[in-house]
Amino acid sequence: MEKSVRNVKRIAIQGGYGAFHEIASLHYFENEEIEIVPRKTFKDLFHSLNNSHVDYGITAIENSLAGSILPNYGLILESSMEIVGEIYLRIQLNLVALPGQKIENLKEVYSHPMAILQCQKFFEDYPGVRLIDSNDTALSAQKIREENLSGIGAIASQLAAEKYGLEILAAGIETNKKNYTRFLILGDKNGKERAGDVNKASLHFTVSHQFGSLAKVLITFSFYNINLSKIQSMPIVGKGWEYQFYVDVEFNDYEIYKQALAAIQPFAGELNVLGEYKKGKSVFE
């Protein structure tokens, strides 16, 4: 199916209905009519984007507790899409199961590895429960309902519990209540926002194999009063001990930001602008 020609925006998400990706989409496109298009993996999501099957995609990129989702940086770089926005979602994780179940009777609990990592402390009080990694929080909840699995739980959102008719056995089981996930919204490169709406950008660059190259890039950003809100290094495959960098920069003046990009060019072996957009808001699920 091709992109919608009506006012309904088709949004590809990773995971099933009720996933935190859907919740983030509902908040970001809160005043617009959207259709959620679930995809099992992030690769499937980007495939739909790159083949014009949807209007936008939304992908988690980092969590305040578990850190960055490193493979997604590569998917963005390889994609024909650009970052057009972001949103920070406060994540509340819940233990859900079929109605009538009790925590003490659960043998296994399924969820995404990142969700399990964020709830380890809660399950210390239930050593008989085996925690098992799955592809997605919402898909874990869906599996319980579709297969009518007794003695099995999932870590998922309240929306997933509602969609699949599951009971919340324990709400807010995440260890740290300041638990946020940052989601990026991706769209066509020809759909750029106006410069006046932009105060943040995501960049990818390599540095020349010379002493102090990275330091020169960082000093240049500082000279132009550009704030680096994120810096992520990753090795360059096939080049021993050489690195590429993904950075997020924030600025008040778009023209000065463009001047800074020109100024770092001599120190960067490769420079890609992954997206220029408005800094995202933080919302509670």
pLDDT in tens, 264-283: 998 888 899 999 999 999 99
For residue 247, what are the contacts with CB-CB under 8 A and spacing of at least 6? 202, 203, 204, 205, 228, 230, 231, 232
Quote the distance between the C-alpha of residue 88 and its chain's center.
9
Q: What is the pLDDT of residues 10-28, one digit of tens each?
A: 999 999 999 999 999 999 9
pLDDT at position 109 over 70: yes
Domain boundaries, the chain: 9-90+179-189, 94-170, 196-277
Q: Do β-strands 130-133 and 9-14 pair in parallel, antiparallel, or remain unpaired?
A: unpaired
Of the candidates 59, 181, 206, 220, the residue annotated as catalytic is 181
**Angle (CA) 163 166 168, round 5°:** 115
User: In CATH, what class is 9-90+179-189?
Assistant: alpha beta
**Cα separations in angstroms, 194 against 28, 125, 247, 253, 261:** 18, 52, 21, 13, 18
What band does 1 get if pLDDT is binned at 50, 70 and 90?
very low
Burial of residue 15 (number of CB atoms within 10 Å: 0-12, 13-18, 19+): buried
Of the candidates 183, 205, 221, 267, the residue annotated as catalytic is 183
Fold match, 9-90+179-189 / 94-170? yes
Per the prediction, the chain carries an average pLDDT of: 92
The structural architecture, per CATH, of the domain 94-170 is 3-Layer(aba) Sandwich (3.40)
**Cα separations in angstroms, 13 against 89, 239, 245, 282:** 15, 33, 26, 19
- The percentage of residues in the chain with a pLDDT greater than 70, rounded to a whole number, is 94
Q: Is 196-277 a CATH 3.40.50.1100 domain?
A: no
Q: Look at residues 168, 171, 164, 150 and name the one whose alpha carbon lies nearest to residue 16.
A: 164
Q: Mean pLDDT over residues 191-214, rounded?
A: 80
**pTM of the predicted protein model:** 0.92
So what's the pLDDT on residue 67?
87
Query: Active site includes 183?
Result: yes
